Amino acid sequence: MTTADSLVHEAPGQDLIAAAQSSKAWPFEEARKIAKRFPGGKRDGAGNLVPVVFETGYGPSGLPHIGTFQEVLRTTFVRRAYEALTGGHPTRLVAFSDDMDGLRKVPDNVPNQGLLAAHIGHPLSRIPDPFDRFESFAHHNNAMLRDFLDRFGFDYEFISASDHYNAGGFDAALINVLMHFEAIMGIMLPTLREERRKTYSPVLPISPTNHQVLQVPVEVVDAAAGIIRFTDMTGEVIEQSVLGGRSKLQWKVDWAMRWTALGVDYEMCGKDLTDSVTQSGKIAAVLGGRRPEGLIYELFNDENGEKISKSKGNGLTIEQWLAYGSEESLGFYLFREPKSAKSLHVGIIPRAVDEYWQFREKLAEQPLDQQLGNPVWHLLRTNGYAGGAGDALPVTFGLLLNLVGVLGAKATRAQVWSYLGNYIADADPAAHPALDTLVTCALDYNRDFVAPTLQRRAPLPNEAAALAALDAALTSADEAASAEDIQTMVYAIGKDPQYEFESLRDWFKALYETLLGSSQGPRMGSFIALYGVASTRALIAEALAGA
């Protein structure tokens, strides 16, 4: 992993610690919670410094999406902030998969749905993989999770619930739950509806008959030995051990048990789990543990304002984002304002790309305290993103999209680079790999989302006159004219009262709609410099021909 020391102009350790102690960036606010919990660092019984444990949870009942990924990324932001704050105290990140959970419904976005429907209620790790690639549905989804965490270079330890339950890794914790069975019931029953109270149990036995996770009342027979009694789906009364994968815990109890058994010190979650955090915290205290520190973040919505759901498959995948934007832009978008609701759909990608580069260019010139509030500082520390502070993109992504939009859905990478030669001196993909990546993204984004919606309108009489004036002005400009000089020409025409524009905004909107086919667009000076004076005059001629 590349460290921030080679990427940003970082002050000596003590200066960084001092800045981290007062930084208002949310990862440092979270990190200070942990530091307050462990003054002098987390230590074992012998006084030795031991790692602070960060955890993220994943329910593999559906395919992973960006909502899953963001929790790992945001937790890593806090982890790295804590390390900076403490001068390098040790940490661990556990990515936990709750794959012993019973399948409640069949996701909409998977094949062989009948296969899954036949296994409703079975532990996810004991259901065949509908993709026919792994030994179970959970193994398939766990592999997808690990694949994109590995792709981004996360330093984490993967833990599977089924592995721990089946191998006895949670046996001692399960016995602890049975020993405190009544106290846990006392916490949970008041929070449940009357009908649910009749069947609720902290422990969910696995049926020896049909192997489903059962939601049935349970009687503790011998807590120390791990023996319970329940009525199976056949009506038979069964006495069975809870150990060795023959049971799992109810969700809130399972979460509390995990915090205690794994020694979790920090875990964030979505606001839909606010009540769960409260109840699980009480249960953790009963079990002899402690609720971890954590951030409760707002949930992502799709373009229709609906909550993103793994089962609906209405969220973006990592692959979809990376088809239309960069890795860094994704990390940048996920960093911003975690306590505010955010939309998550392809329409937000272009702006995220450009804002990432704006913040990245600023970083080198900022004093340390401002660097700590810059999302790019956190991204560069997190997983060693390529490049560094002060890097600049010679052409914005928005401008690339405008260029590609004019070139059309069949535009090629070579065409785009030929036009980039009008704008940058060393227009070579090898010299600008980040820009080359975005050229491909722009071509794909334009083909899939922009080109089908572009429609140039005919100019109104006053607009046609202004376009003719712009064309005349461009006759005196050569292909090497600067973007600023061209922008000055454009401004002068928009301000001229004879063209009857109420504001410059109306003039620019007319340019966008008649030349580019969109209601929004770039600085026209930059666009004309990129597209070329001659090519722009040809666009104007086309617009005037339709007037």
Per-residue pLDDT, averaged over 296-307, amounts to: 83
What pTM does this model have?
A: 0.89
Tokens of 236: 């038979």
List all residues 6 or more positions away from 307 whose beta carbon is below 8 Å from its beta carbon: 272, 299, 300, 301
Nearest to 60 by CA among 129, 151, 150, 153: 129
Segment 109-131, tens digit of pLDDT = 789 999 999 999 999 999 999 99
pLDDT value at position 1?
A: 32
H-only helix segments in 152-295: 161-167, 171-179, 181-188, 194-197, 251-262, 274-286
pLDDT band at 229 (very low <50, low <70, confident <90, very high): very high
The mean pLDDT value for 199-203 works out to: 96
- Count Cβ atoms below 10 Å from residue 222 Cβ, excluding itself: 13
What's the mean pLDDT in 325-329? 92
Q: Report whether pLDDT(198) > 70.
A: yes
In the prediction, which pLDDT does 468 show?
A: 97
Distances in Å between the Cα of 445 and the Cα atoms of 402, 421, 438, 456 are: 11, 22, 10, 19
Consecutive H or E run containing 445: helix 433-445
CATH annotation of 4-297: 3.40.50.620
Phi, psi of 86 (to 5 degrees): -100, 5
Output the pLDDT for position 3: 37
pLDDT recorded at residue 309 = 65
Q: Where are the domains of the chain?
A: 4-297, 397-453, 461-545
What is the pLDDT, as a whole number, of residue 13?
A: 86
The SS3 assignment for 369 reads helix
pLDDT score recorded for residue 2: 35
Kindly report the average pLDDT of the chain as a whole number: 92
- Report the pLDDT value the prediction gives residue 185, as an integer from 0 to 100: 98
4-52 pLDDT tens trace: 333 444 445 899 999 999 999 999 999 999 999 999 999 999 999 999 9
**Among 247-256, 284-293, 315-324, which stretch is predicted with the lowest mean pLDDT?**
315-324
Q: How confident is the model at residue 313 (pLDDT cuts 50, 70, 90)?
A: low
Mean pLDDT of 539-545: 95
Per the CB < 8 A criterion, the answer to whether 401 and 451 are in contact is: no
**pLDDT tens digits for 412-459?**
999 999 999 999 988 999 999 999 999 999 999 999 999 998 899 999
Residue 389: predicted pLDDT: 63
Domain 461-545 top-level CATH class: mainly alpha
